């Protein structure tokens, strides 16, 4: 014991002696449990936990009905939720679902089914509003024209051949209208006559090709960086004289398009010689063009008429009422089946286009003899008429003009107002309704072209007329979109 002396008093200090201390109560402190998935409580970072859904339901998650669940990771499980829209069934409150419903446009254009399963008729318009009025795009001493469809950059172009100046006159177009910049693409030593717009190399940009006055085929590729067309390749078709385009032919083993034209082979007689062959020109340079005999040929189209999975060449011939074919065999084409056309004589077609007009998966054919256009369906080895359309039928085209998924027909004709573009809108089942685009001018039809000038997804029309005072190209802008 230690004693502390203070003012004469001795006070004992008791250290460690229990009698000098009082007991102090103690309390155990336990940390709250850490949040974990599966404890039945919706903690931070969890959408749900077990049967605890926080008041959520399938309807609240954007579905129409069903049972909402929770995954073992505490995220909402909507696998048992049901959304009626998109189930290919028109349920209560829906106007359509997918391709089901009243989606036919009876006027011009198309209807669709919205993401809310309601009919969208905003692109179904009155035929009188289907195209703008004729817009004249005159090029001094110009000739035939072609529309180059807008590429990824959003620019289309109108290419007009100017033979006397050995050039193509190219005017670009965008969603905002014609561009002030024009390109005059000179071709020294040749005379452009018939331009064609086609993606030659498969890069999604539309290139140009043309048949020259010398019967040769020339190509101009589009440079997307410089945004101009550049002189590219010449197919030396000296063994043939190219007369008119048939069109582009998709390549079998590489991207891009080869070119097909009516030609006279050998070229004796030049432009005055009638075509007697089909000329095939590879897209790349350094490859010699080939041709296949087609005696008396007057027009041709590219399509798989016999359904064997390869493209055939269908053609009409002088004095013949039949449609003849050249079928692919190995690297080239050879004579194929001839199909009789069951139209009361005298019917000798001079123009042909091909498409699946009734959407049954088989190719049909449209023919013109210059006085009428007849749509026929292949039945065995014969072609049976399904529709007859009045009109002179020059420069016959088969394109989906109104975007409804059906192939329509267009051709050039005349009426009391002058030259017109006739359009037969395909309503399905070989039923067509007709409308006209009026140029308001007189002249001989020279060319008819379709393409998307203004990058809105619709095909616009360019019709060119020739007259003693010069040619005029009339552009009609499609208004469906």
- pLDDT-derived band of residue 6, with 50, 70 and 90 as boundaries? very low
- Angle 277-283-289 from CA coordinates, rounded to 5°: 35
Q: Are 186 and 164 in contact (CB under 8 A)?
A: no
pLDDT at 280 over 60: yes
pLDDT one-digit tens code per residue, 144-169:
999 998 777 677 899 999 998 999 99
Tokens, residue 98: 């997918």
Q: What end-to-end distance do the CA atoms of the chain give, in Å?
A: 108
The pLDDT mean for the chain works out to 87
* Distance in angstroms (rounded) separating the CA atoms of residues 415 and 391: 10
What sign does the CA torsion over 341, 342, 344, 345 have? Answer: positive
More confident residue, 434 or 285: 434
pLDDT reported for residue 458 = 92
**9-18, 269-278, 450-459: the lowest-pLDDT one:** 9-18
- pLDDT-derived band of residue 15, with 50, 70 and 90 as boundaries? very low
Residues forming a β-bridge with 196: 209
The tokens 């049976």 sit on which residue?
Answer: 384
* Distance in angstroms (rounded) separating the CA atoms of residues 250 and 256: 6
More confident residue, 446 or 225: 446
pLDDT one-digit tens code per residue, 71-81:
999 999 999 99
pLDDT reported for residue 153 = 65
pLDDT at 176 over 90: no
pLDDT at 287 over 80: no
pLDDT at 18 over 50: no
- pLDDT-derived band of residue 316, with 50, 70 and 90 as boundaries? very high
Residues forming a β-bridge with 403: none
pLDDT reported for residue 252 = 74
* Distance in angstroms (rounded) separating the CA atoms of residues 85 and 277: 55
Residues forming a β-bridge with 473: 464
pLDDT at 333 over 60: yes
* Distance in angstroms (rounded) separating the CA atoms of residues 302 and 398: 12
Q: Taking the mean position of all CA atoms in its chain, how far away is CA 245?
A: 21
Dihedral in degrees, nearest 10, Cα atoms 382, 386, 392, 396: -70
Q: Are 207 and 222 in contact (CB under 8 A)?
A: yes
Q: Are 475 and 137 in contact (CB under 8 A)?
A: yes
pLDDT reported for residue 16 = 41
DSSP, res 93 = T
**14-28, 267-281, 411-425: the lowest-pLDDT one:** 14-28
pLDDT reported for residue 5 = 38
pLDDT one-digit tens code per residue, 229-238:
888 766 655 6
DSSP assignment string, 30-79: -PPPPP-TTSSS--TT-S-BTTB-TT--TGGGT-SEE--EE-TTS-EE-T
* Distance in angstroms (rounded) separating the CA atoms of residues 270 and 249: 25
> Which is nearest to 437 in space by CA: 453, 448, 426, 429?
448
Q: Are 218 and 240 in contact (CB under 8 A)?
A: no
pLDDT reported for residue 82 = 83
More confident residue, 460 or 87: 460
Region 354-381: mean pLDDT is 94
pLDDT at 12 over 70: no
Region 426-448: mean pLDDT is 93
Q: What share of residues in the chain are helix, strand, coil (percent, to 5)?
A: 5, 45, 50
pLDDT reported for residue 13 = 37
The tokens 């005379």 sit on which residue?
Answer: 191
> Which is nearest to 149 in space by CA: 460, 368, 452?
452
Q: Per mean pLDDT, which of 23-27, 179-183, 318-322 is the most reliable?
A: 318-322
- pLDDT-derived band of residue 217, with 50, 70 and 90 as boundaries? confident
Region 368-377: mean pLDDT is 94
pLDDT at 392 over 70: yes
DSSP, res 128 = G
Give the global pTM: 0.81
Query: Which phi and psi (to 5°) does residue 236 adopt?
Result: -80, 85
* Distance in angstroms (rounded) separating the CA atoms of residues 295 and 184: 38
**Contacts with 107 (C-beta within 8 Å, 6 or more apart), sequence order:** 124, 125, 126, 127
C-alpha distance from residue 345 to each of 262, 322, 341 (Å): 26, 11, 10
Q: Are 281 and 258 in contact (CB under 8 A)?
A: yes
pLDDT reported for residue 467 = 80
pLDDT reported for residue 17 = 39
Q: Taking the mean position of all CA atoms in its chain, how far away is CA 355?
A: 15
- pLDDT-derived band of residue 282, with 50, 70 and 90 as boundaries? confident
**48-52, 152-156, 452-456: the lowest-pLDDT one:** 152-156
* Distance in angstroms (rounded) separating the CA atoms of residues 289 and 209: 15
Region 307-330: mean pLDDT is 92
The tokens 């995954």 sit on which residue?
Answer: 71
- pLDDT-derived band of residue 475, with 50, 70 and 90 as boundaries? very high
Q: At 272, is the secondary structure helix, strand, or coil?
A: helix
- pLDDT-derived band of residue 32, with 50, 70 and 90 as boundaries? low
Helix (H) or strand (E) holding 371: none
Question: Residue 131 burial by CB count (10 A; 0-12/13-18/19+): exposed, middle or buried?
Answer: buried
pLDDT one-digit tens code per residue, 87-119:
888 988 889 998 899 998 999 999 999 988 999
* Distance in angstroms (rounded) separating the CA atoms of residues 384 and 388: 11
Region 276-282: mean pLDDT is 90
Region 123-133: mean pLDDT is 91
pLDDT at 121 over 80: yes
pLDDT reported for residue 474 = 95
């Amino acid at each position: 014991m230690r004693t502390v002396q203070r003012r004469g008093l001795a006070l004992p200090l008791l250290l460690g002696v229990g009698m000098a201390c009082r007991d102090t109560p103690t309390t155990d402190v336990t940390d709250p449990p850490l949040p974990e998935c599966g404890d039945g409580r919706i903690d931070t970072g969890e959408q749900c936990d077990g049967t605890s859904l926080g008041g959520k339901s399938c309807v609240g998650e954007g579905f129409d009905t069903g049972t909402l669940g929770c995954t073992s990771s505490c995220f909402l499980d909507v696998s048992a939720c049901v959304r009626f829209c998109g189930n290919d069934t028109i349920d209560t409150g829906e106007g359509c679902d997918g391709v089901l419903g009243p989606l036919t446009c009876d006027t011009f254009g198309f209807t669709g089914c919205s993401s809310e399963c309601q009919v969208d008729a905003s692109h179904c318009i009155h035929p009188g509003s289907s195209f703008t009025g004729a817009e004249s795009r005159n090029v001094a001493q110009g000739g035939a024209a072609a529309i180059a469809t807008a590429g990824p950059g959003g620019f289309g172009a109108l290419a007009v051949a100017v033979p006397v100046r050995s050039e193509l006159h190219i005017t670009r177009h965008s969603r905002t209208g014609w561009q002030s910049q024009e390109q005059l693409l000179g071709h020294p030593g040749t005379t452009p006559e018939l331009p064609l717009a086609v993606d030659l190399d498969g890069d999604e940009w539309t290139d140009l090709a043309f048949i020259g006055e010398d019967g040769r085929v020339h190509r101009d590729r589009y440079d997307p960086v410089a945004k101009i067309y550049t002189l590219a390749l010449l197919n030396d078709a000296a063994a043939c004289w190219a007369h008119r385009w048939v069109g582009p032919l998709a390549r079998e083993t590489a991207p891009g398009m080869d070119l097909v034209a009516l030609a006279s082979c050998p070229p004796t007689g030049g432009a005055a010689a009638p075509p007697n062959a089909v000329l095939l020109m590879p897209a790349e340079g350094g490859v010699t063009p080939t041709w296949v005999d087609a005696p008396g040929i007057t027009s041709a189209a590219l399509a798989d008429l016999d359904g064997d999975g390869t493209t055939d060449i269908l053609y009409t011939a002088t004095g013949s009422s039949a449609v003849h074919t050249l079928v692919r065999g190995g690297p080239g084409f050879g004579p194929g089946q001839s199909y009789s056309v069951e139209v009361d004589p005298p019917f000798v077609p001079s123009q042909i286009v091909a498409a699946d007009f009734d959407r049954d998966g088989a190719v049909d054919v449209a023919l013109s003899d210059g006085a009428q256009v007849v749509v026929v369906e292949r039945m065995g080895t014969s072609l049976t008429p399904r529709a007859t359309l009045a009109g002179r039928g020059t420069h016959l085209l088969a394109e989906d003009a109104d975007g409804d998924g059906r192939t329509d027909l267009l051709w050039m004709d005349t009426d009391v107002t002058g030259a017109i573009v006739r359009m037969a809108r395909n309503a399905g089942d070989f039923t067509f309704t007709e409308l006209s685009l009026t140029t308001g001018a007189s002249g001989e039809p020279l060319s008819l072209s379709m393409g998307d000038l203004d990058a809105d997804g619709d095909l616009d029309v360019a019709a060119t007329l020739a007259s003693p005072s010069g040619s005029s190209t009339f552009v009609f802008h499609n208004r469906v979109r």
